[in-house]
A = this chain, B = another copy of it.
């Protein structure tokens, strides 16, 4: 059974808002108004616009690097202002707050004993939130809730009713047959590395595999420096996922491959 959530005062923010305008800052202002000692960390604000799948993917991969007691707030929310729900999920010592639009589905699917609550919007009034805009729940709903959870003012079990239901992920799990695995490129990093949804254990099960992507066949290596600058490779990246890279250059540009592209790993 899950331990009660014990907050440490750290809050992470994940959005697709980018860095223009005061959007992220306004969320931080609301948090600091309500919880002056909050320590806020930007996970990323460059999630591909309106694509919750990338946010959920990175959160699921990155949250273990934060201290137990962290509140992770993720706002990739194309349905803002419509009737979509908000969920709060405890996994281990961490709490996640996000729209119930599939963003947290991967995390929930892979967790041991996740605890889900639907957020009861009546809590907001009790927290003194007077006005909620139709278009910016990150500032008006998520920030006050996160501040209350991270400061200990609000207990997770009090945010709203327990539930087992949630919207599934927008991306299907990798397809596995006896000698190959097929997944997709979930996102592309700053270096142009193509990051897939194929985890390490599915790759290593295939021995010394080859990786097929965009009409190319690439060797599987340990790190970027194992091939010459300009050469392509596939590797297990530092988050335990199959990644297609080009040493010191952009694999995405070189292969003409983007988010959503299929990737197949095949035993030789």
Contact = CB atoms under 8 A, between A and B. Distances in A.
Interface string A47-85: 001100000001101100111001000000011111000
A4 interface: no
Contacts of A61: 22
Contacts of A17: 189-190
B20 A223 contact: no
Contact of A65 (B62, B139, B223, B225): B139
Nearest to A63: B29
A134 B81 contact: no
A79 B226 CA distance: 9
A4 B17 CA distance: 36
Interface in A159-188: 187-188
Given A18-B190, A20-B190, A33-B66, 19 more contacts: A8-B36, A12-B25, A16-B190, A19-B19, A19-B46, A20-B46, A21-B187, A21-B189, A21-B190, A25-B62, A29-B67, A29-B70, A32-B41, A80-B224, A81-B222, A81-B224, A134-B223, A135-B224, A140-B238
Interface of A: 8-10, 12, 16-23, 25-26, 28-30, 32-33, 36, 39, 41-46, 49-50, 58-59, 61-62, 65-67, 70, 78-82, 133-136, 139-140, 187-191, 195, 222-226, 235, 237-238, 248
